[in-house]
């Protein structure tokens, strides 16, 4: 049997039950609920509020339901407090706060077993609670339910908890041979889901390629693609999380420059040889098929 009805019929059981247990009108949520701490009422304030609620009040316009609205964004790392408020008037006889179908507070009576949930204000004009150290598990709808002399009303607001980006897993530094294929991984979490971007740092600005994906795949890697690669995770909640990976590309020696200087009979003659290689090359000199030692030649300019 339905004991409490609104204009559309029976109220949900949790709301009907909460209203049957509470003391204080229509819940008017602001466009954005306040975030932060406010002093809780002491016993004297509650007594004064009760006396004010019992006194006659001027006629006020019939309240209208407020549609669901989003709360201000909340950062989990900052661990803020959620402070939803109900603006009410003297026509309210009962009031309660619910999270989904769970009663948090009915009037001054606490139903929630969560120690983070406390009542802040219960006056003829406002009914507010606080949820401290907001976490992602607190996300969802919150409902202020009120009972007037006419019929019950509800107003709902949806909490969205945003989380800064955090890179949870990234590839280690790697050494490969030129011509190999390389895959780098960068996994990040956050709410909303962060965008992951790879960038090659060891080149001039504007010349390094960029990949917007968790995976960076390089086929037939070249020596000029060695160096540091930066992974950045961004979701506009906070500063991006950035990590780096170093790729070392091995390649065989390449003689870039070899020269000699003329010398007269009996004078010194200098031969120079410049080469590139990773790892660093070892130089050897030969005359025809005979290897020469360093004591026979001056060796310079290797790199």
CATH number, domain at 57? 2.60.40.10
The token duo for 115 is 């120690």
Please identify, among 111, 126, 159, the residue that sits at the C-terminal boundary of a domain: 159
In this structure, are 140 and 174 located in the same domain?
Answer: no
Question: Is 196 a residue whose pLDDT tops 90?
Answer: yes
Q: Domain for residue 297, yes or no?
A: no
Q: Domain for residue 230, yes or no?
A: yes
Per-residue confidence (pLDDT) for residue 247, from 0 to 100:
96
In this structure, are 261 and 186 located in the same domain?
Answer: no
Sign of the torsion formed by the C-alpha atoms of 169, 173, 175 and 181: positive
Q: What pTM, to 2 d.p., does this model score?
A: 0.60
Confidence bin at 264 (pLDDT 50/70/90) = low
In this structure, are 202 and 129 located in the same domain?
Answer: no
In this structure, are 107 and 132 located in the same domain?
Answer: yes
In this structure, are 199 and 238 located in the same domain?
Answer: yes
Q: Domain for residue 301, yes or no?
A: no
Share of the chain above pLDDT 70, in %: 63
In this structure, are 206 and 227 located in the same domain?
Answer: yes
Per-residue confidence (pLDDT) for residue 121, from 0 to 100:
86
Confidence bin at 242 (pLDDT 50/70/90) = very high
For the chain, what is the domain count?
3
CA angle 135, 139, 143 (to 5 degrees): 125
In this structure, are 232 and 262 located in the same domain?
Answer: no
In this structure, are 213 and 73 located in the same domain?
Answer: no
Question: CB-based burial of residue 23 (10 Å sphere; 0-12 exposed, 13-18 middle, 19+ buried)?
Answer: middle
CB-based contact 142:84 (threshold 8 Å): yes
Closest CA to 53 of 20, 91, 109, 19: 91
In this structure, are 115 and 231 located in the same domain?
Answer: no
Distance CA 210, CA 231 (A): 10
Q: Domain for residue 303, yes or no?
A: no
Q: Domain for residue 302, yes or no?
A: no
In this structure, are 9 and 155 located in the same domain?
Answer: yes
Task: Report the mean per-residue pLDDT for the chain.
Answer: 72
Per the document, the length of the chain is 303
Q: What is the mean pLDDT of residues 232-243?
A: 94
Confidence bin at 235 (pLDDT 50/70/90) = very high
Q: Which residues span the domain enclosing 214?
A: 163-251
Q: Domain for residue 123, yes or no?
A: yes
Please identify, among 114, 143, 159, the residue that sits at the C-terminal boundary of a domain: 159
Please identify, among 112, 139, 159, the residue that sits at the C-terminal boundary of a domain: 159
Distance CA 120, CA 117 (A): 10
In this structure, are 11 and 155 located in the same domain?
Answer: yes
Confidence bin at 207 (pLDDT 50/70/90) = low
Closest CA to 66 of 162, 131, 159, 158: 158
More confident residue, 143 or 271: 143
In this structure, are 114 and 177 located in the same domain?
Answer: no
Question: Is 53 a residue whose pLDDT tops 70?
Answer: no
Q: Domain for residue 29, yes or no?
A: yes
């Amino acid at each position: 049997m339905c004991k409490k009805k609104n204009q559309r019929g029976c109220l949900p059981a949790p709301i009907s039950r909460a209203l049957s247990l509470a003391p204080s009108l229509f819940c008017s949520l602001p466009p954005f609920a306040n975030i932060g701490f406010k002093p809780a009422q002491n016993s004297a304030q509650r007594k004064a509020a009760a006396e004010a609620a019992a006194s006659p009040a001027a006629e006020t316009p019939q309240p209208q339901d407020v549609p669901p609205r989003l709360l201000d964004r909340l950062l989990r790392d900052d661990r803020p407090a959620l402070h939803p408020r109900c603006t009410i008037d003297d026509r309210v006889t009962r009031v309660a706060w619910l999270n989904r179908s769970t009663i948090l507070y009915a009037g001054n009576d606490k139903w929630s077993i969560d120690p983070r949930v406390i009542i802040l204000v219960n006056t003829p004009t406002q009914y507010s609670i606080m949820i401290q150290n907001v976490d992602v598990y607190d996300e969802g709808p919150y409902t202020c339910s009120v009972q007037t002399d006419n019929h019950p009303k509800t107003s709902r607001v949806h909490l969205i908890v945003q989380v800064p980006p955090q890179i949870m897993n990234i590839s280690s530094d790697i050494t490969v041979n030129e011509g190999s294929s390389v895959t780098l991984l960068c996994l990040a979490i956050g709410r909303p889901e962060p965008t992951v971007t790879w960038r090659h740092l060891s080149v001039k600005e504007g010349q390094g390629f960029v990949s917007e994906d968790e995976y960076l795949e390089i086929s037939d890697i070249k020596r000029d693609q060695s160096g540091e690669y930066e992974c950045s995770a961004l979701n506009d909640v906070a500063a991006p999380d950035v990590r780096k990976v170093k790729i070392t590309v091995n390649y065989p020696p390449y003689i870039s420059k070899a020269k000699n200087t003329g010398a007269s009979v009996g004078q010194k003659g200098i031969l120079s040889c410049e080469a590139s290689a990773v790892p660093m090359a070892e130089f050897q000199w030969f005359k025809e098929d005979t290897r020469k030692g360093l004591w026979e030649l001056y060796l310079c300019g290797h790199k």
